[in-house]
Structure 1
Amino acid sequence: MDLDLRKLRYFVAVAEKLHFGRAADELHIAQPVLSRQIRALEKDLGAPLLTRDSHGVTLTDAGRQLLTDAGPLLASAHAARRRVTVAARGDRRLMVGFRAGVAVTPAVNLFAARHPDVLVDVQRIEGDDQAPMLLDGRIDIGYVRPPIDETGLRVVPLYTEPRVAVLPAAHRLAGKEEVTEADLAGEPLVWHAGPSTQPTRHPHPNAGYRARGVDETLEHVAAGRGISFLARSATVFYSHPEVVYVPVPDLAPDEVCLAVAASRNSPVIDDFFAAAQAAAEVTAECGNYAMWQRGGETAAQ
């Protein structure tokens, strides 16, 4: 039997709140109706999903598994609906998401030379938004930085860049031309990755304080709550009077990848991938952002 997406949405609401009344209020339906839909879903699947007793609602093993699988399923359905709506309107538009420090303009300029009829819009995204926004269709293509959950995605490495230490201006190493990881051992760290970050990716064991986005990171570093690490491109896009950037040559480089939902098959998306890869090659040859930008604009003419 096919899985009913409406029942699945109802189940997710109950599973997240573990309370039928609150889930019914969120869904704007009567609680008895919700209970009947959940029982019908359990019958469809041939397995109990929830345990209901005087202590409340808990998930069974089958319920926990369904909750894990439900997110990508519902996101895929939402994205399919959005793409059909866009196709029906005849829109020629790409929404490109990008992480802080990534320059999208060179690729957009190259792409526009081949597809002048396609509007390319851009949107800044954070680490914890990368996979969800691709899967639910809010962005069509993403310039992403690992770590990222690649489930349901096609992820292609694009380029790497050195990382720098982000230090308070009064830090003992702020005046150095470069530092090593050993120099920074034991420093408290303001960590700016998404919630999926794995401990093995932390630069040192003191990683703990997490900020969302570069702006928050700089504010916390300036306040003396710790140091941080960013891709070198951040030094072009972000500055702060109480923060300095110092190269760390022995630190593992930062990686930028292109990502798209695995279900997306489009010549237009393939062409944007090609433009992004060509722009990245210009970046590698030029060696700095200013030349990268000029190279991308020149190639598009």
Structure 2
Amino acid sequence: MNDEAADVEVRELRYFLAVAEELHFGRAAERLGITQPPLSRAIRQLERRIGARLLDRDRQGVTLTAAGEVLRTEAGTALDAVAAAARRTRRAGDPERHLVLATKAGASHELLRGLLDAAAREPAVPPVEVLLCEVGEQAGLLRTGRADAALMHRPVDDLKGFATEDLHTEGQVAILPAAHPLATRPRLTLAEVSDVPGLPMARWPRLDGTYPDGPGPEVRTQSQLAQLVSLGKTLLVIPASSRAWQWPDHTAIPVPDAPPVTTVLAWPAPSHSRPLAALIRTARSLRTPAP
């Protein structure tokens, strides 16, 4: 890579991503709202700056080189980081700014309520706006700057690149239909809930968006999951505090041998935001010792 690589422009990366996704200069130019000649010049300039060919062009169309495949991933990350920096800076300059806290709907409900109450009493913490999301969405909201902090769970959530403060560690429970024979048990084991005839465990998407193999239904939202449990189509194992969202025809049974889950406050590292630092201090005061 030559010295000009440090001078790569955001515009060039955006143009390259359009071509990499469309694999066609004409369609990419139309998507960007420009004509094809300046798009071609920008890609050639980008290749000169980086010192590597990014695209192969022939009569059949456009393909990415090995270097182009790498840049497609890296450019997306870089553009997300630039957008996130702009959002955070814009909010920091707003005299009426709020801190945005992302959390899974129904998760860590009592802890969330305690944190909001404590933050409201702390003059250094600006108003906190709660951004409710589905499972696995907090990391994206933090990385794109749409949230300043998030309540997340170790080991199930993607904490890569974030600073964290451990707040609470707890066991897990199985949520299953109240009418099911197992609903009368005082406790269950992971082996038992993993092999219930006619009641397979729900399957959440992995961090890469794919689903694990298994007979259980694929779910993406808490509302999907709640209704499937109510209909006797699935069960799940979740942190005990997340049972706040369970329906009246659900039952929660402790699963003592399930791995413990720790609720953490997570934020992009490093952060130089004083309001966020005040929120972190407030959250730290609510920390409970591990069982």
TM-score (norm 1): 0.81
Matched, 1:109 2:117: yes
Matches within 5 A, 1:1-301: 1=4, 2-100=7-105, 101-103=107-109, 104-115=112-123, 118-146=126-154, 147-187=156-196, 188-192=200-204, 194-196=206-208, 206=214, 209-235=217-243, 237-281=244-288
Q: Whole-Å Cα distance in 2 between the matches of residues 17 and 223 of structure 1?
A: 43
- Deviates most, 56-65 or 142-151: 142-151
Deviation at 1:116, TM superposition (A): 6.1
Q: Whole-Å Cα distance in 2 between the matches of residues 124 and 193 of structure 1?
A: 18
Is the 2:166–2:287 Cα contact (8 Å) retained in structure 1?
no
Deviation at 1:262, TM superposition (A): 1.3
Q: Whole-Å Cα distance in 1 between the matches of residues 160 and 86 of structure 2?
A: 20
State the Cα RMSD in Å: 2.7
Deviation at 1:121, TM superposition (A): 0.9
| Distance change in 2, residues 1:172/1:52 (3 Å) | farther
- Deviates most, 23-32 or 161-170: 23-32
Is the 2:125–2:278 Cα contact (8 Å) retained in structure 1?
no
What is the one-letter code of the residue matched to 2:33?
A: H
What is the one-letter code of the residue matched to 1:195?
A: L
What is the one-letter code of the residue matched to 2:266?
A: A
Instruction: State the Cα deviation string for residues 189-208 of structure 1 (Å, max 9, x = none).
Output: 21235534899xx8xx7476
| Distance change in 2, residues 1:94/1:208 (3 Å) | same
Q: Whole-Å Cα distance in 1 between the matches of residues 160 and 151 of structure 2?
A: 16
Instruction: State the Cα deviation string for residues 126-163 of structure 1 (Å, max 9, x = none).
Output: 23322221111100011112434444322333222211
Q: Whole-Å Cα distance in 1 between the matches of residues 49 and 272 of structure 2?
A: 32
Q: Whole-Å Cα distance in 2 between the matches of residues 113 and 266 of structure 1?
A: 19
Deviation at 1:96, TM superposition (A): 0.8
Poorly superposed stretches of 4+, deviation over 4 Å: none
Structure 2 unmatched runs, 5+? none
